[in-house]
Chain A
């Protein structure tokens, strides 16, 4: 157990629920926003429910601001309503029998001034409506106001923007960010959308199959995914293959050279599209992985052109749009695709799906 005074939240959550064995340790610093990402069924919501006290720990600990909330060893369990942990649910869970004002007031101290929260989240003209009359985005803003009004030590979010449409999402994301920075003690945000995680969080925890597979800054998550799921999420190229010497051989026989000796088993190869280079002529020298491929299509994403290629490997390359213009890429154009061996990332655990 680490010295908890320096952390707002210090927890190791161990519990079993159905097929899921959850064993996750994580810390949140004072003022920090941490995102929890992971595939469906990885245990993200279970983790939040355990932190709240809705599901009991089998072992581990939950310390908030140095105070032990739950330590199964000595039977310490603080009831949910005394933990001071706010929660934003995916569907808001506003109390349908109370107006917006009543919902926001529900957990607030009687003399608390709620004007600034109401103004920041732009709720002034919704106060006399019932939750049934609100849009999904308005619902989540009221839910956040209701939680912040109760002065939580920390706020937990469970997919707060999942029910919103694209425009509602970015607006709600801005407002959540503003409200968090004004009232911030710390937050944990469960999400499956990297945009949420990267916009709101300083640190990202990846939870897979009940275990934490990576804990990094958003930039590091993007540039150095440690698992196939993250790589896939970041739009990386993913191939399955079998280790042979220092290479990986894909099912159609293409060899991908790596930097080290590979074990014989099945592995997953992950390549960042930004590390894939395109040349009109066969390159000579350092890049040892080069294949002649055909352009299938080009998609412009701002300054980046995502080039879809087929050949010995079906692969995506992210190049600058000016480079794409220089190369004159049309459907069917033959082009050399190269990847440095150092840019080939390997996950030895074969992916299940």
Chain B
């Protein structure tokens, strides 16, 4: 048991907690609970809900598919190279999402570096489509997967890999039968964190995929629009977003970030 903190510090800590909690509680205070179901079944809302669900789950899966190999590689790197790669990976976490969306346009837009080639060859256009929403969501979800999984991999005793190899397991078997199963909690945590982040994504989505109801308008975008036109619907959708995020964080407890 540690000693108690001075009263002043405890007061400030309480203030910090209140600073975060007050806006959320104020929002919940204004929610028209009795008409919640009615509000959530409106067209605009159901469209956005479905779209958010599809795009965020797809993005979480894509982030896992791309992020796990990158984490495996990153965990084996050291020194300057590792720092550079990690900085690039973290960038979408810190970057203003609007800038991320703009960057995506320059890369995958109709005239973008990669997008022009893709649309010439396949006729596929990414921006302002559901695919665009998924790409934008994956872009912001990926860092959560990579960092969570890399942290777990680095904490893993490398001698487990040696032990598996002495039992005749080649690199693939070591990876799939020993390393990945042993970091399974981190894979789950990374996936859910990425999902939560994708679900809340606003800036990159609106910049790269637009705001078309039923096509690219996800929940956060719908909330933003509804704040001007239909406050009660905005509040109802906010309740959904807050509950989902809170549920994920609570169910992951502290496994989502290396606390200990």
Which B157-191 residues sit within 8 Å CB-CB of chain A? 157, 159-160, 162-170, 174, 177-178, 181-182, 184
Checking A85, A95, A146 against B160 with a beta-carbon cut-off of 8 angstroms, the contacting residue is A95
Tell me if A81 is interfacial: C-beta within 8 Å of chain B.
Answer: yes
A interface residues with partner B (beta carbon < 8 Å): 49, 52, 54, 79-87, 89, 93, 95-98, 106-107, 146-147, 150, 152
Checking A89, A97, A107 against B181 with a beta-carbon cut-off of 8 angstroms, the contacting residue is A97
- Complex CA gap A83/B182 in Å reads 25
What is the number of residues of chain B that contact chain A, defined by CB distance less than 8 Å? Answer: 18
- Complex CA gap A104/B243 in Å reads 45
- Complex CA gap A82/B157 in Å reads 22
Chain A residue with the shortest CB-CB distance to B167:
A107
**Residue-by-residue, is B144-164 near A (CB-CB < 8 Å gives 1, otherwise 0)?**
000000000000010110111
Checking A80, A84, A95 against B182 with a beta-carbon cut-off of 8 angstroms, the contacting residue is A95
Q: Would you give the shortest CB distance from A94 to chain B, in whole angstroms?
A: 8
- Complex CA gap A98/B178 in Å reads 9
Instruction: Write out the residue numbers on chain B whose beta carbons fall within 8 Å of the beta carbon of A96.
Output: 182
- Complex CA gap A67/B165 in Å reads 19
Chain A residue with the shortest CB-CB distance to B165:
A80
Checking B157, B169, B182 against A107 with a beta-carbon cut-off of 8 angstroms, the contacting residue is B169
Chain B contact surface mostly: helix
Chain A residue with the shortest CB-CB distance to B181:
A97
Does A81 lie within 8 Å of B163, measured CB to CB? no
Chain A contact surface mostly: loop
Does A93 lie within 8 Å of B160, measured CB to CB? yes
Q: Would you give the shortest CB distance from B213 to chain A, in whole angstroms?
A: 46
Q: Would you give the shortest CB distance from B76 to chain A, in whole angstroms?
A: 15
- Complex CA gap A89/B184 in Å reads 24
Does B168 lie within 8 Å of A87, measured CB to CB? no
Instruction: Write out the residue numbers on chain B whose beta carbons fall within 8 Å of the beta carbon of A80.
Output: 162, 165-166
Does B165 lie within 8 Å of A89, measured CB to CB? no
Known: A52-B162, A87-B162, A106-B164. A81 touches B182 (CB 8 A): no
- Complex CA gap A54/B178 in Å reads 17
Checking B157, B160, B168 against A81 with a beta-carbon cut-off of 8 angstroms, the contacting residue is B168
Of all A-B residue pairs in the complex, the 6 with the closest CB atoms, nearest first, are: A107-B167, A80-B165, A87-B166, A81-B165, A93-B163, A97-B181
Q: Would you give the shortest CB distance from B232 to chain A, in whole angstroms?
A: 48
Does B177 lie within 8 Å of A93, measured CB to CB? no
Q: Would you give the shortest CB distance from B244 to chain A, in whole angstroms?
A: 29
- Complex CA gap A106/B162 in Å reads 13
Does B159 lie within 8 Å of A93, measured CB to CB? yes
Does B166 lie within 8 Å of A52, measured CB to CB? yes
- Complex CA gap A54/B163 in Å reads 10
Does B178 lie within 8 Å of A95, measured CB to CB? yes
- Complex CA gap A194/B127 in Å reads 72
Instruction: Write out the residue numbers on chain B whose beta carbons fall within 8 Å of the beta carbon of A85.
Output: 166
- Complex CA gap A79/B164 in Å reads 13
Known: A93-B159, A95-B160. A84 touches B181 (CB 8 A): no
Known: A89-B159, A93-B157, A95-B178. A146 touches B167 (CB 8 A): yes
Instruction: Write out the residue numbers on chain A whose beta carbons fall within 8 Å of the beta carbon of B163.
Output: 87, 89, 93, 95
- Complex CA gap A106/B165 in Å reads 11
Instruction: Write out the residue numbers on chain A whose beta carbons fall within 8 Å of the beta carbon of B167.
Output: 81, 86, 106-107, 146-147, 150
Chain A residue with the shortest CB-CB distance to B162:
A54
Instruction: Write out the residue numbers on chain B whose beta carbons fall within 8 Å of the beta carbon of A82.
Output: 168
Instruction: Write out the residue numbers on chain B whose beta carbons fall within 8 Å of the beta carbon of A97.
Output: 181-182, 184
Known: A97-B182, A106-B164, A106-B177. A81 touches B159 (CB 8 A): no
- Complex CA gap A52/B54 in Å reads 49
Instruction: Write out the residue numbers on chain B whose beta carbons fall within 8 Å of the beta carbon of A79.
Output: 165, 170
Q: Would you give the shortest CB distance from B187 to chain A, in whole angstroms?
A: 12
